Structure 1
């Protein structure tokens, strides 16, 4: 492997004229000649197959991989693989990332080699609506689950050219912010010239932004909700008052007024977790969500109550602290009503209610405890009360 890519040199130089935005972004990438053409992290390798392509295709393929780097598809792939474990589908991630990048490159005026899986083709094959402005790679990856996308004509000639980047997750937010700045400057340059990606960059919804993973947000919300709050005990003096009163008696001075103490809290908080059984959540995210919630319950020493529901509660199980439960069968049919769940959590005197749902139902009036709506793909959906947690990232 060479230090700098000789195979890509002509294409990268040509992009300065044809697509200034891509050319600017390419300066932040590492270009190498290698056995195969692909992207891992910020490094793009160019194989012998790249050198055999005509000049205009070399430019489009280089643009394709530069966008993979700029949109942090390799790093985000590693993050999703870590979160989903064995349930992660690398081929589906590659297809989702390629579809978004190819759509942008095509709209920018480049001629990609055929056949090429663009977003419009992949969405049509999956029976899903939307445009480049509607999808980021995480949401598209989840949306394509079970649709058969990539198995038809759109997949012919499709080569997996993206590998997960090994890196420190702690640097992910800073890295996303840095690439967002690179993209902003590059797209501004492209807009001023009126050529290439600069004309359509504003349509890309996949531009990386610093985000806190939903697991971290959920942990914080449940920790605050389930932390016991000491209650006043009118008949119990505070330790501070006992010390001050004793000192006053010894000194023969005025004893201060009585100061009540606090009653120690021994009750184990209850967390109600309601799973919408109407089939709006795919198995991979359901398993991930369930593992996270049960892990939180063990760490918090909280009593977990599982409520599986559609129009009514179909399964209710109490799960003791420290127990690793199994996820019960999900009916995957019927409509959705949140009223029975709210009422059940109220009857349990729950410290918090977490509802895994698509928000397609009547939420009713707000209860006297925090409600967290964990939504697989909110797409701008809001709840009348509580906190909406986006599980698509």
Structure 2
């Protein structure tokens, strides 16, 4: 590939900077190169970090990026100037929105459940809608957020409204779940993906350099959008409607792990009426030598550590996908293995269907082996009442949050793990979303 600045994209980049002030600085932080058809051996690493040699043809698409360099292939020249500007802006936003490091984070979290093709579709759809709203003319065919909402997600939401609420992680999870279920929606997704030439390369593991680069790009993007907003045109004019602007967030797995582990870990009980033997010895020595008495050290109770207990209530009336259930089950299993906590499984819809104590460290396998039916309404009152009978350290409810709530279960903490739903309806407990 060429190591010199792209000749193919020079005119489009110059026009882009004149048209949209936001890209004036963003484009300068990217390297622009002309791709060649040369085949090169490169080292690729999988989710476990294992290296393999792959033969890759550099000219894989009219334009593509590895997160640092944007490559322009020979087919880039077949578009007119306006379309070339949109393509340049599209690739710059892949870098500015940090889609490559974010893809690597998803790869490290989901492992075999990560799909490069679906991530590329999600990222392209959000960028294309952003550029359309900003007045760009995109070349045809391209992945449209409106088509994804209508044909794949079967949603009546308008694309401009969805753009403000969706980010690439949440859209990826929705599309991946659909591809796993199969059916007409998955077929529509396959049709969309067949039109897509992959333009994001995110192989390898997330590095410290990626983390540093992400922090720097957040600052660059913020400054560039403010510049565009003050000019009143281009991408900066819709900056408040961009839901995919990279933000620091803690994955739901980490939140769930911290909360449950904290509640099931035994904390020693102190006895302030009886000091430790060490304090008694130090105090006796102080009195003998005429020194000040040491700070009081309370003793510990000799009660045996209480084994932590987690009641997991699974709502089988909602639309919990198999892939989300598998990730949720994996986290619960991991917590059980690390802490030795007892897991009580409660299957419910409008009432209790089944109560089961987890005997192995494989929640998904045991869940699939149990006899219960799906469908019907939902009531959270009965499963929480049943959970309290087992004296749990914490109650975790896997649900879509559509149902009737009962009274607050005293001081026992409750975590609502949901894919979607209106959190305003939740009268108690902590809500974590599994859709990111």
Q: Is this a same-fold pair by TM over 0.5?
A: yes
Q: Which residue of the partner structure matches residue 99 of structure 1?
A: 125
Q: Which residue of the partner structure matches residue 53 of structure 1?
A: 79
TM value normalised by structure 1: 0.88
Larger mean CA deviation between 354-363 and 231-240 belongs to 231-240
Of residues 387, 406, 417, the one that matches 1:374 is 417
Distance in 2 separating the partners of 1:59 and 1:332: 51
Per-residue deviation, residues 52-72 of structure 1 (Å, max 9, x unmatched): 322211111111111111112
1:59-74 aligned within 5 A: 59-74=85-100
Distance in 2 separating the partners of 1:169 and 1:362: 45
Provide closer, same or farther for how the CA distance between residues 249 and 72 of structure 1 changes in structure 2, counting only shifts above 3 A: closer
User: Structure 2: which 5+ residue stretches go unaligned?
Assistant: 36-58, 179-184
Shift of 1:102: 0.6
TM value normalised by structure 2: 0.80
Shift of 1:352: 0.8
1:215-364 aligned within 5 A: 215-231=253-269, 238-240=276-278, 243=281, 261-320=300-359, 323-325=361-363, 326-329=365-368, 331-364=373-406
User: Structure 1: which 5+ residue stretches go unaligned?
Assistant: none
Distance in 2 separating the partners of 1:156 and 1:301: 47
Aligned-residue Cα RMSD (Å) equals: 3.1
Matched residue of 2:29: which SS? coil
Number of aligned pairs?
A: 391
Distance in 1 separating the partners of 2:221 and 2:333: 39
Distance in 1 separating the partners of 2:273 and 2:82: 85
Provide closer, same or farther for how the CA distance between residues 249 and 105 of structure 1 changes in structure 2, counting only shifts above 3 A: closer
Provide closer, same or farther for how the CA distance between residues 172 and 363 of structure 1 changes in structure 2, counting only shifts above 3 A: farther
Distance in 1 separating the partners of 2:17 and 2:389: 66
The question of whether the paired residues in 1 share the 8 Å contact of 2:271 and 2:298 is answered with: no
Distance in 2 separating the partners of 1:170 and 1:223: 27
Distance in 2 separating the partners of 1:261 and 1:88: 48
Q: Which residue of the partner structure matches residue 435 of structure 2?
A: 392
Provide closer, same or farther for how the CA distance between residues 292 and 153 of structure 1 changes in structure 2, counting only shifts above 3 A: closer
The question of whether the paired residues in 2 share the 8 Å contact of 1:270 and 1:352 is answered with: yes
Shift of 1:207: 0.5
Shift of 1:241: 5.8
Residues 1:140 and 2:171 aligned together: yes
The question of whether the paired residues in 1 share the 8 Å contact of 2:65 and 2:71 is answered with: yes
Matched residue of 1:230: which SS? coil
Shift of 1:165: 5.0
Q: Which residue of the partner structure matches residue 139 of structure 2?
A: 113
Of residues 96, 111, 114, the one that matches 1:85 is 111
Distance in 2 separating the partners of 1:57 and 1:353: 54
Shift of 1:381: 4.8
Per-residue deviation, residues 89-129 of structure 1 (Å, max 9, x unmatched): 32222211111111111111111111222212221113112
Shift of 1:317: 2.2
Provide closer, same or farther for how the CA distance between residues 87 and 168 of structure 1 changes in structure 2, counting only shifts above 3 A: closer
Distance in 2 separating the partners of 1:149 and 1:197: 33
The question of whether the paired residues in 2 share the 8 Å contact of 1:95 and 1:150 is answered with: no
Distance in 1 separating the partners of 2:299 and 2:92: 66
Of residues 200, 208, 211, the one that matches 1:162 is 200
Matched residue of 1:38: which SS? strand
Per-residue deviation, residues 290-316 of structure 1 (Å, max 9, x unmatched): 111110111112111222222223332
Distance in 1 separating the partners of 2:90 and 2:208: 27
